[in-house]
Amino acid sequence: MFTGIITDVGRVRAIEKTGDTRFEIETSFDTDTIDIGASIACSGPCLTVIEKGEGWFAVDASDETLSCTNLGDWIEGTKINLERALKIGDELGGHVVTGHVDAVVSLLLMETVGDSTKLVFSLPEKFAGLVAAKGSICLDGVSLTVNEVGDDHFTVNIIPHTQEHTTFGTLTVGRRINFEIDVLARYVARMTEVNKKK
């Protein structure tokens, strides 16, 4: 479980393709405090630490994970948003994030609005009813507030702090982004679906 508040921007330092794909990620986290088997959100997806050293940790991604996320786009040097798993008693500054990516969306438009940046993303049709204005969304692991929702797109605003402390400061139009809907929306939709069948 995560909050979508990014605490480090890591960098992919090595990629090895065997049965699965192994990523080694540089981090400023104190890796002495990270257990093997711990979960870390890596630009959205919750991945399991399988090895570590001073200033780095390694994770494996299955073909399923690669097909459902943008991890297949990663190359050596790719910067990624990192968040360690939530502990009981931690401040919940964002919203409840599971690290289970629902889809990959594309950045359609960037527009400067005051000191902030308005971002317009594609919205897959099957998720259109699950994204709400003033609701929460998780993009590449970052908890954000939705501004507007259209039939095939939604918008968010990125303040300068977010641009400086996440990978969002280097976004370009066309970039593919991991997208996770609000877990509350997921369960409300499921309950509605079940009730309709009764």
Q: Which helix (H) or strand (E) holds 165?
A: helix 160-165
What pLDDT was estimated at residue 129? Answer: 87
**Distance between CA 149 and CA 155 in Å, rounded?**
7
d(CA 100, CA 71): 13
- Third-level CATH fold of 103-197: Elongation Factor Tu (Ef-tu); domain 3 (2.40.30)
pLDDT of residue 146: 96
Q: Is 16 helix (H, G, I), strand (E, B) or coil?
A: strand
Task: Please check whether the two domains, 8-84 and 103-197, share a CATH topology.
Answer: yes
4 in Cβ contact with 90 (< 8 Å)? no
The neighbour count for residue 189, using CB atoms within 10 Å, is 14
Please, which residues have CB within 8 angstroms of residue 188's CB and are 6 or more apart in sequence? none
Kind of pairing between the strands at 176-181 and 153-158: unpaired
pLDDT the model gives residue 89:
76
Kind plus residue range of the DSSP H or E element containing 68: helix 63-68
- Return averaged pLDDT per consecutive 10 residues of the chain, 198 residues in all: 94 95 98 97 98 97 95 97 88 85 97 96 92 94 96 96 95 97 78 70
Q: For residue 21, how many C-alpha atoms fall within 13 Å in the half-sphere facing its CB?
A: 19
pTM of the model: 0.92
**Rounded Cα distance, 23 and 1, in Å:** 21
Looking at residue 194, its pLDDT comes to 61
Closest CA to 41 of 1, 68, 90, 91: 1
Q: Which CATH class is domain 8-84?
A: mainly beta
| Domain limits, the chain | 8-84, 103-197
